[in-house]
Chains A and B, each alone.
Chain A
Amino acid sequence: MMRFMLLFSRQGKLRLQKWYTATAERDKKKMVRELMQVVLARKPKMSSFLEWRDLKIVYKRYASLYFCCAVEEQDNELITLEVIHRFVELLDKYFGSVCELDIIFNFEKAYFILDEFLIGGEIQDTSKKSVLKAIEQADLLQEVHTHTHHREKK
Chain B
Amino acid sequence: MALKIVKGSIDRMFDKNLQDLVRGIRNHKEDEAKYISTCIDEIKQELKQDNIAVKANAVCKLTYLQMLGYDVSWAAFNIVEVMSSSKFTYKRIGYLAASQCFHESTDVIMLTTNQIRKDLSSPNQYDTGVALTGLSCFVTPDLARDLANDIMTLMSHTKPYIRKKAVLIMYKVFLKYPESLRPAFPRLKEKLEDPDPGVQSAAVNVICELARRNPKNYLSLAPLFFKLMTSSTNNWVLIKIIKLFGALTPLEPRLGKKLIEPLTNLIHSVLSLFIVKYLGLLAMSKILKTHPKSVQSHKDLILQCLDDKDESIRLRALDLLYGMVSKKNLMEIVKKLMLHVDKAEGTTYRDELLTKIIDICSQRAYNCLWYISILVELTRLEGTRHGHLIASQMLDVAIRVKAIRAFAVAQMATLLDNAHLLTGNTQRNGICEVLYAAAWICGEFSEHLEEPMATLEAMLRPKVATLPGHIQAVYVQNAAKLFATVLRGQEGAPADSTVAQETSQLLIDRLPLFVQSSNLEVQERASCILQLVKYIQKLQQKDVEVAEEVTALFAGELNPVAPKAQKKVPVPEGLDLDVWINEPPSGSESEDEGRKSKGKAVFAKDESRHTKPRYTEVDEKELAKRREVRKAEQANNPFYIKASPSSQKVRRHSVSKPNPSPSFSLRLWMPMSDQYVKLEEERRERNKADKKKKKDKKKREKGEKGRRRRGDSGPESEEDITPAHMVDIVTEEMPENALPSDDDDKDPNDPHKALNIDLDNCPLMDYQVVVSVIFENKCDSFIKSMEFNVLDSLNSKLQRPDGAGPHDGLIVPFQLPPGISNEARFIFSVQNIVMPQKLKGTLTFIVKTDDSSTHEKLDFKLHFTCTSYLITTPCYSDAYSKLLESGDLKGCSLKLEGVNQPFHHLLARICFHHHFSVVERIDSCASMYSRSIQGHHMCLLVKTADQTVSIDAKCDEPGLLGNVLDEIKLTFSQC
Contact = CB atoms under 8 A, between A and B. Distances in A.
Contacts of A77: 639, 641
B239 A79 contact: yes
Nearest to B12: A153
Among A15, A19, A20, A153, chain B packs the most CB atoms within 10 A around the CB of: A153
Given A22-B103, A149-B87, A125 B164 contact: yes
B212 interface: yes
Interface stretch (B201-209, B434-442, B719-727, B918-926): B201-209
7 contacts: A18-B137, A74-B212, A77-B641, A78-B275, A122-B209, A123-B205, A127-B197
Given A25-B71, A25-B73, A122 B206 contact: yes
B53 A149 contact: yes
Interface in A89-120: 104-105, 107-108, 111-112, 115, 119-120
Nearest to B176: A22
Given A78-B275, A120-B171, A152-B5, 5 more contacts: A19-B137, A115-B133, A119-B168, A122-B202, A138-B88
Contacts of B234: 126
Interface in A113-154: 115, 119-127, 130, 134, 137-138, 141-142, 145-146, 149, 152-153
B198 interface: yes
Interface in B445-498: none
A14 B96 contact: no
A150 to B, nearest CB: 9
A112 B60 CA distance: 13
A112 B140 CA distance: 22
Contacts of A107: 18, 22, 63-64, 67
Contact of B93 (A15, A108, A120, A141): A108
Q: Which 3 A-B pairs have the closest CB atoms?
A: A120-B136, A22-B103, A76-B639
Contacts of A79: 236, 239, 275
A29 B70 CA distance: 10
Contacts of B864: none
Contacts of A35: none
B825 to A, nearest CB: 40
A152 B234 CA distance: 47
Nearest to A148: B87
A75 interface: yes
A78 B310 CA distance: 14
Contacts of B67: 14-17, 107
B236 A22 contact: no
Contacts of A134: 129, 161
Nearest to B106: A22
B138 interface: yes
B641 A108 contact: no
A75 B73 CA distance: 32
B639 A74 contact: yes
B164 A124 contact: yes
A32 to B, nearest CB: 8
A106 to B, nearest CB: 8
A63 interface: no
A132 to B, nearest CB: 13
Contact of A142 (B69, B89, B161, B237): B89
B168 A105 contact: no
B9 interface: yes
B92 A126 contact: no
A147 B210 CA distance: 45
B206 A112 contact: no
B639 A124 contact: no
Nearest to B643: A47
B198 A127 contact: yes
A25 B103 contact: yes
A29 to B, nearest CB: 6
A26 B169 CA distance: 26
A108 B82 CA distance: 15
Contacts of B100: 17, 19, 111
Contacts of A25: 71, 73, 101, 103
Contact of B137 (A20, A73, A105, A149): A20
A112 B92 contact: yes
A79 B73 CA distance: 35
Contacts of A24: 103, 105
Nearest to A83: B236
Contact of A75 (B105, B639, B641): B639
Given A17-B67, A108-B18, A145-B89, A82 B275 contact: yes
Interface string B87-111: 1110011001001111111000000
Nearest to B68: A14
Contacts of A153: 5-6, 9
B767 interface: no
A138 to B, nearest CB: 5
A74 B637 contact: yes
A110 B139 CA distance: 22
A1 B202 CA distance: 12
Contacts of B206: 122
Nearest to B72: A25
Interface in B629-648: 633, 637, 639, 641
A25 B104 CA distance: 11
A22 B138 contact: yes
Nearest to B208: A122
A105 B278 CA distance: 40
A23 B101 CA distance: 9
Nearest to B275: A78
Contacts of A145: 87-89
Nearest to A33: B69
Contacts of B130: 115
B243 interface: yes
Nearest to A121: B136
A120 B92 contact: no
A1 B198 contact: no
Given A122-B209, A124-B198, A141 B169 contact: no
Given A22-B102, A125-B164, A119 B239 contact: no
A1 B140 CA distance: 18
A124 B73 contact: no
Q: Which of A105, A119, A127, A145 has the most CB of B within 10 A?
A: A119
B58 to A, nearest CB: 13
B92 A138 contact: yes
B169 A119 contact: yes
A112 B133 CA distance: 10
B540 to A, nearest CB: 63
Contacts of A125: 164, 198, 201
A16 B93 CA distance: 15
Nearest to A19: B137
Nearest to A130: B198
Interface in B158-183: 161, 164-165, 168-169, 171-172
Interface string A76-88: 1111001000000
A20 B133 CA distance: 10
Given A19-B137, A74-B639, A124 B202 contact: yes
Contacts of B288: none
A126 B23 CA distance: 34
A142 B95 CA distance: 14
Nearest to A74: B212
B132 interface: yes
Nearest to A149: B53
Interface in B69-83: 69, 71, 73
A120 B172 CA distance: 7
A19 B67 CA distance: 12
Interface string B273-291: 0010010000000000000
A1 B209 contact: yes
Interface in B411-446: none
Contacts of A123: 201, 205, 236
Given A74-B637, A125-B164, A127-B198, A142 B88 contact: yes
B676 interface: no
A123 B234 CA distance: 13
Contact of A146 (B68, B89, B161, B641): B89
